[in-house]
Amino acid sequence: MNPWLEAADLLGAVLLLLGCVQCLIGVIGMVRFPDVLTRSHAATKPQTIGVLLALAGVTLRLRDPIDLGTLGLIVFFQFLTSPVASHLVARSAYRTGQTGSRGLLRDDLDPQLSEGDE
Amino acid sequence: MSHTVRNFSPRRRRVPDLPLIAWLTVIWVLLWGTLSWGNLVNGVIVALCVSLAFPLPAVELGLRLHPLGILRLLVYLVYDMVSSSVEVTRQIQARGPYPAAVVAVPLRCRGDLMLTATAVAVSNVPGGSVIEVRRATSTVFLHVLDADDPGAVDKAKRSVWRMEELVAGAFGTAADIERARGPVPEGNGPS
C-alpha cells in the first residue's frame, strides 16, 4: 500500500480520536458547570471543534472529492446554525433570570433592558 | 430609539435569484453525492420551485467577497479555536465557582450583515457566547467566563473587535473595512 495513503489513514484516525476527546470534554463541562449560560459555553465550543476534527479525520480516510464537498457542507451548516441555537437558548435563559445562584460580576445588559425599550 | 418599528421591506421578489438557485443546486448535488446530469437538472428544478414557492424578502445585503480576506478569517478562526480549546478545557477542570459577567461590546460597522457575521464568528470561538444583539446600536452582549480576572473582560472585547475587522475584510464593503480599521467607539475603550 502506498505509504502516503497509510499516513493519511493514520492521521485521519488520530484526528477522529482527538475530535471525540473534544466532544467528551464538552460533555464533562456540561455536567460540571452550574447554570445554563456557563453550560452553553461547554456545550457549543468544544463540540464545534470536536465535529470539525472528526470530519477532518473522516475526510482523510474517505479521500473522495464529492464526499469532501458533503463534509464541507456539514461544517458550513454546523458553523452557521449552532451560534443561532446557542444564542436563542442564552437569550431566553438570561431573560428568565437563569444567570446562576451567585449572580454576575458585571452586567452591562441589565440597565439597557430596564430602560423599558422592550 | 424606543418603540421603533423596523422597516423590513414587505416587497418579496417573485423573480428567481440566480446566485441563490446556483447555491441551492450545489447543495442538492452534494446531498445526493454524485454529480450527474440528472441530479443537476433536478437540482435546478427543485431550486426554482423552492425559490418561487418561498420567496425571500429583499434584504439590503451589501455582501462583497474578498477571497484573501475570507482565507485570513478562516485561518484565524481555526487558530483561535485550537488555541482557546485548551483554555475551555482548563476552565472545565477548574473547581467552581465560575464567576461570569455580561459585557457590552459596541461594534464599529453598522450593517446588518457585519453585525450578524461578527456575532456568528464570535460565538464559534471559545471564550465568549453571545446572549443579546442590539441592532439599533450595533452592540453585541457577551457572556464571559472567569470574569474575576481583570484582563478577561478586556481580552474578550479586543477579540470581538479583532473579529469584526477580519469579518469586514472578508465580506464587507470598502466603507465597512474603513470603519472596522478605525478607532474603537468613544467611551468604550478598554476599561
Closest CA to B132 of A18, A82, A91: A91
In angstroms, the CA B73 to CA B78 distance is 9
Any B CB within 8 A of A65 CB:
no
In angstroms, the CA B185 to CA B56 distance is 34
pLDDT at B89 over 50: yes
Q: B146-155: b or e for each residue (b if 16 or more CB lie within 10 Å)?
A: bbeeeebbeb
User: In chain A, which residues have their Cβ closer than 8 Å to the Cβ of B115?
Assistant: none
pLDDT at B4 over 50: no
DSSP code, position B55: P
- Average pLDDT score, chain B: 78
Span B14-23, pLDDT tens digits: 566 788 889 8
Decide which of B124 and A14 is more confident: A14
Q: How far is B123 from chain A (nearest CA, A)?
A: 6
In angstroms, the CA B118 to CA B163 distance is 6
pLDDT at B3 over 50: no
In angstroms, the CA B74 to CA B9 distance is 33
pLDDT at A22 over 60: yes
Q: What is residue B185's predicted lDDT score, i.e. its pLDDT?
A: 65
Q: Are B98 and A33 inside 8 Å of each other by CB? A: yes
Q: What share of chain A is helix, strand, coil (3-state, %, to 5)?
A: 80, 0, 20
Give percent of chain B with pLDDT exceeding 70: 81
The helix (run of H) or strand (run of E) holding residue B132 is strand B129-134
Q: Which residues contact A43 (CB under 8 A, 6 or more apart)?
A: A26, A29, A30, A86
Q: What is residue A113's predicted lDDT score, i.e. its pLDDT?
A: 66
In angstroms, the CA B136 to CA B131 distance is 16
Kindly tell me the burial class for residue A88, based on how many C-beta atoms sit within 10 Å of its own C-beta (0-12, 13-18, 19 or more): exposed
Q: What is residue B94's predicted lDDT score, i.e. its pLDDT?
A: 76
**Amino acid in position A85:** A
The pLDDT-based confidence of B46 (bands split at 50, 70, 90) is very high
CB-nearest to B103 from A28, A34, A106 is A106
Span A69-78, pLDDT tens digits: 888 888 888 8
Cell of B6: 423596523
Q: What average pLDDT does this structure show over B113-136? A: 79
Any B CB within 8 A of A29 CB:
yes
Q: Are A40 and B97 inside 8 Å of each other by CB? A: no
Q: Which residues contact B106 (CB under 8 A, 6 or more apart)?
A: B137, B138, B139, B185, B188
Look-up: residue for cell 467552581?
B96
Q: How far is B107 from chain A (nearest CA, A)?
A: 15
In angstroms, the CA A60 to CA B180 distance is 37
- Average pLDDT score, chain A: 81
Chain B's closest residue to A24, CA to CA, is: B89
Kindly tell me the burial class for residue B57, based on how many C-beta atoms sit within 10 Å of its own C-beta (0-12, 13-18, 19 or more): exposed
CA dihedral (A85, A89, A95, A101) positive or negative: negative
Q: How far is B18 from chain A (nearest CA, A)?
A: 20
Lowest model confidence (mean pLDDT) among B1-10, B46-55, B102-111: B1-10
Span A79-116, pLDDT tens digits: 888 888 888 888 888 888 777 666 677 777 777 666 54
Residues in chain A: 118
Q: Are B155 and B189 in contact (CB under 8 A)?
A: no
Q: What average pLDDT does this structure show over B139-167? A: 81
Q: Are A106 and B88 inside 8 Å of each other by CB? A: no
Q: Are B100 and A48 inside 8 Å of each other by CB? A: no
